[in-house]
Amino acid sequence: MELISEIILWTFLSVICLMMINYSFKMIELGYVLKYRKPFYVHFYLFPKKLKDNQRRILENSFSFFNKLDPKHQGFFEHRIRLFIKDKVFIGRDGMVIDDEVKTLISATAVMLTFGFRDFYIGLIDKILIYPEAFYSKTNTDYHKGEFNPKLKALVISWEDFKRGFDIANDNLNLGVHEFAHAIHLNSMKERDVSSTIFNDSFTELTELLSSNAVLRQELLDSAYFRNYAYTNQYEFVAVIIETFIETPQEFKAQFPQIYAKTKQMLNFNFANY
């Protein structure tokens, strides 16, 4: 009995100790986040996973962002794609075949946008539905190239238009980036992890900047750099500026350095020369 009591006591003390360590870490990281606007760490994997050879070739041949990463970050990128593919259900519609190319490139898009996040799963997405081309949506009885339905936890895309988004790399139109940006934005409003908090706080800072700077707002409108769809509402604004950030970062930075900096801060994008 005495031995059992000691085991229970030490177990209790160990749990209390771990709770205190966890709380202390969160407090330290909170201070770090407030000062530097980024997580204390992002990537830490005891047993990083690799992609299959053909999946890696798909990345090297069709996903230019992967080739911009150094070897260490390429390893992290592969690991995250493996886990993302395992976490989501990919569903083909209208005869669409779900193969390694589909899974790899769609997952790579999500992983790219969340590569500066610690939690990269985008919990508001359970399933990804892929049509061969533009599809009829019952949501507003019209044909769509892509949509995100948070109630159903479903992201829906046209494969033809998804591929076109990457085929033309500098037109600031990228369906996959746009739809995943919507999901990340809404997910950040729901979750309380450190990366979601940084995304939300940074976007708030951006909206305050634009609200208080009439000159900057007018420059945005006059430049026509962001397409008009960006000014539909705050959700489309976020999606469009993230598309633009990914596709033409140097031009973005040159034209609107303050907005570029806030977008970079939102995504914690400190790699691949961004």
Residue 37 is predicted with a pLDDT of: 82
Binning the chain into helix, strand and coil, the percentages to the nearest 5 are: 60, 10, 30
Q: Confirm whether 156 is domain-assigned.
A: no
Place of tokens 């690991």: 79
Strand pairing of 146-149 and 142-144?
A: unpaired
Query: Are 191 and 200 a contacting pair, CB within 8 Å?
Result: no
Query: Are 148 and 183 a contacting pair, CB within 8 Å?
Result: yes
Beta bridge mates, 89: 127
**Structure tokens of 181?**
């940006």
Tell me the angle at which helices 71-87 and 100-113 cross, rounded to the nearest 10 degrees: 110
**The dihedral of CA 176, 182, 185, 186: what is its sign?**
negative
Q: Maximum distance among all alpha carbons in the chain?
A: 80
Query: Are 111 and 84 a contacting pair, CB within 8 Å?
Result: yes
pLDDT digits (tens, 9 = 90+) for 198-223: 999 999 999 999 999 999 999 999 99
Residue 65 is predicted with a pLDDT of: 96
176's CB contacts (< 8 A; 6+ apart) are: 105, 106, 109, 146, 157, 162, 165, 166
**What is the distance between the alpha carbons of residues 93 and 131, in angstroms, rounded to a whole number?**
5
Residue 154 is predicted with a pLDDT of: 97
Tell me which amino acid residue 122 is. Answer: I
211's CB contacts (< 8 A; 6+ apart) are: none
Q: Confirm whether 100 is domain-assigned.
A: no
Tell me which amino acid residue 14 is. Answer: S
Domain span at 233: 194-267
Q: Confirm whether 207 is domain-assigned.
A: yes
Buried b (16+ CB within 10 A) or exposed e, 93-120: eeebeeeebbbbbbbbbbbbbbbbbbeb
Q: DSSP string covering 70-86, please?
A: -HHHHHHHHHHHHHHHH
Residue 27 is predicted with a pLDDT of: 61
Query: Are 198 and 266 a contacting pair, CB within 8 Å?
Result: yes
Which residue numbers in the chain have pLDDT < 50?
none
**What is the distance between the alpha carbons of residues 139 and 142, in angstroms, rounded to a whole number?**
8
Tell me the angle at which helices 100-113 and 159-167 cross, rounded to the nearest 10 degrees: 60
What pTM was computed for the model? 0.90
The tally of domains found in the chain comes to 1
